[in-house]
Chains A and B, each alone.
Chain A
């Protein structure tokens, strides 16, 4: 039997106007960014001139789109997941579910799969946009698939975080804001910690920055995992940082060299999601079970 919450939420989400509108805006945005990028690089109206199409620009376009999509997902996922439980509470339908014999696990997992499915829809729908870049060459199909896998794992983590905070806070608004704040801390906190460490300790002891050192600091940050999928040149600040991470990863000598940033971050995301999901299911239980008296 399909999880009833999954069944119902999929039905109503697809029925409403929200999903098509969200999807359209999302695609328009990605397409717009891509268009502007080519425009800025003089690649749209140059076909009939003698200048050949520059594949380097295609790779840069891929980078821009990949990053934009990643950031967009980070912004959208909290908004659609952090209302999962608090929304039911605000609508006064949560008690109707909790007074049944369904386990809180099923409720949480149902909500989680709905959110992931929703996000997958956005990601899959964006494939044609990514495909345009793919057509120009420079990026392999395998790389795109791996990147999507990473997107889904990251989305799982953000969705779990959203659902967890949604069981914690009673109001939708509070839960959404809390999710953004926690996500911000998770993404930027490690980087800030690393810089502070760099300023105070690295200078005085003159430690060499290695991949393992970097990983020890940055592994929770989604941005660190994303570094794996950055292709191309050190054209800007992000490029420099992402390239440096990849460069360090190649130089690594111990076992960590087999683990790319996205794998380490992905593994962390999966474990962290597991913890958050268990905590949510536990927190949602209205009464804590009592051991039977002897």
Chain B
């Protein structure tokens, strides 16, 4: 459905997107993750036909976005990260306006608007001014707007940003419904866990480069040899740390609330060996757990050295 090859976008000397490649099959949901300034929005804008790429090719359903932009734009629904609304329009007038923009005939508009407002749960607000909606509602309205011409590819740039937890859950439900409607979706976020439940595949972008790309499981696998262990000791913490530092399989060691946390590379056998050493040295180990690595920390690991991560 979407195929990006060697996409490059430069702003002067600064390279915002650097030789990016990716492919999304029909009906798949691709989660696009990266820190602030990684180049997610830039990539999405290029795909939506709003930004001229420096080089590279973007094919949507096999059609080049640069050779037939209007044909491609009919297939794409785009929801930007920041958007405005016409505050002097009512909700249904707002939908009507964008239906007009996409050239949908008058007689079909009413039914489409009804259906979409139902989907995003805004039917009860159709006679309200857009200005009077809450942020979450505006975001849902914008999502409904991006669906008005029944696109097959959806590009959603951080659709859940700035929403409270409840609104996030609601947004997630809508996205699940869209998945059931067999839409191909490219969705970005800087919160990986948010995407991991619903996406079929994930791409991690850092400083304009795709650093990891694959199904959620593949991404986890890539770093499965690296995990964290948490050791609680009753006493002799210094000795325990000294012993751990001697182990080649142990990486960085931190102390968090009277427990030792360390990154670890290796399999179970090595892990058992470490525990045995600690015990034979007479260190009073209270607990010894492998915490595994969350998607968050995979993300942190992969984007190391890039800009600050925040949410």
Q: Decide whether A and B are members of one complex.
A: yes
Indicate if the CB atoms of A99 and B76 lie closer than 8 Å: yes
Chain A interface residue count: which class?
20 to 34
Name the one of B69, B85, B106 contacting A287, with C-beta atoms under 8 angstroms. Answer: B69
Q: Tell me if B84 and A8 are in contact (CB < 8 A).
A: no
Q: Does B65 contact A (CB under 8 A)?
A: yes
Of the 9-residue stretches B93-101, B199-207, B229-237, B256-264, which lies at the interface with chain A?
Answer: B93-101
B295 touches A (CB below 8 Å): no
Select B93's contact among A11, A16, A101, beta carbons within 8 Å.
A11
Task: Output the residue of A16, A96, A97, A290 with the most chain B CB within 10 A.
Answer: A96
Q: Mark B77-106, 1 if CB is under 8 A from A, else 0.
A: 010101111101100010001111111011
Given contacts A103-B70, A287-B49, contact A97 B84 (CB under 8 A): no
Query: Which B residues are CB-close (under 8 A) to A236?
Result: none
The answer to whether A4 has its CB under 8 Å from any CB of chain B is: yes
Docked Cα-Cα span, A186 to B276, in Å, equals 90
Chain B residues 108-128 with CB under 8 Å of chain A are: none
Residues of chain B within 8 A of A100, CB atoms compared: 73, 98, 101-102, 149
A258-294 to B contact mask, C-beta < 8 Å, 1/0: 0000000000000000000000000000111111110
Interface membership of B50, Cβ < 8 A: yes
A50 at the binding interface (Cβ < 8 Å) = no
Contact A99 B85 (CB under 8 A): no
Q: How far is the CA of A1 from the CA of B88 in the complex (A)?
A: 23
Q: Does B289 contact A (CB under 8 A)?
A: no
Given A289-B67, A290-B64, are A99 and B84 also a contact pair (CB < 8 Å)?
no
Known: A92-B84, A287-B65. A101 touches B97 (CB 8 A): no
Closest chain B residue to A8 by CB distance? B97
In the bound complex, do residue B66 and residue A4 qualify as a contact, i.e. CB atoms below 8 Å apart?
no
> Contact: A99 with B67, CB < 8 Å?
no
With beta carbons under 8 angstroms apart, the residue of B67, B80, B97 that contacts A95 is: B80
Q: A4-B97, A101-B102 are in contact. Are A12 and B89 (CB under 8 A)?
A: yes
Given contacts A12-B89, A91-B86, A287-B51, contact A4 B100 (CB under 8 A): yes
Interface residues of A in 218-251 (CB under 8 A from B): none
A102 within 8 A of B: yes
Interface of A is mostly: loop
**Which residue of chain A lies nearest to B99 when distances are taken between CB atoms in the complex?**
A4
Give the residues from 1 to 37 in chain A that come closer than 8 angstroms, CB to CB, to chain B: 1-2, 4-5, 7-8, 11-12, 15-16
Give the chain A neighbours of B66 by CB distance below 8 A.
287, 289-290
Q: Please give the distance in Å from A132's CB to the nearest CB on chain B.
A: 35
Cross-interface CB contact of A101 among B50, B83, B103, cutoff 8 Å: B103
Residues in chain A near residue B40, CB distance under 8 A: none
Residue of B nearest to A98 (CB): B50
Q: Could you tell me the distance in whole angstroms from the C-beta of A45 to the nearest C-beta in chain B?
A: 47
Is A93 part of the binding interface, using a Cβ–Cβ cutoff of 8 Å? yes
Tell me whether B132 is interfacial, beta carbon within 8 Å: no
Q: Which residues of B contact A292 (CB under 8 A)?
A: 64, 67
Q: Which residue of A lies closest to B48 (CB)?
A: A99
Which residues on the A side are within 8 Å of B99 (C-beta)?
4
Instruction: Please list 22 pairs of residues, one from A and one from B, whose beta carbons are closer than 8 Å in the complex, sorted by A's number.
Output: A1-B105, A7-B97, A8-B89, A8-B97, A11-B89, A16-B88, A92-B82, A92-B84, A93-B85, A95-B78, A96-B78, A96-B80, A96-B98, A99-B49, A99-B76, A100-B98, A101-B74, A102-B101, A286-B49, A287-B49, A287-B65, A288-B52
- Using a CB–CB cutoff of 8 Å, the interface residues on chain B facing chain A are 45, 48-52, 64-67, 69-71, 73-74, 76, 78, 80, 82-86, 88-89, 93, 97-103, 105-106, 142, 145, 149
A4-B97, A93-B83, A96-B145 known; 14 new pairs, CB 8 Å cut-off, are A1-B106, A4-B101, A11-B89, A91-B86, A92-B82, A93-B86, A96-B98, A97-B101, A101-B102, A101-B103, A101-B149, A286-B49, A286-B52, A287-B69
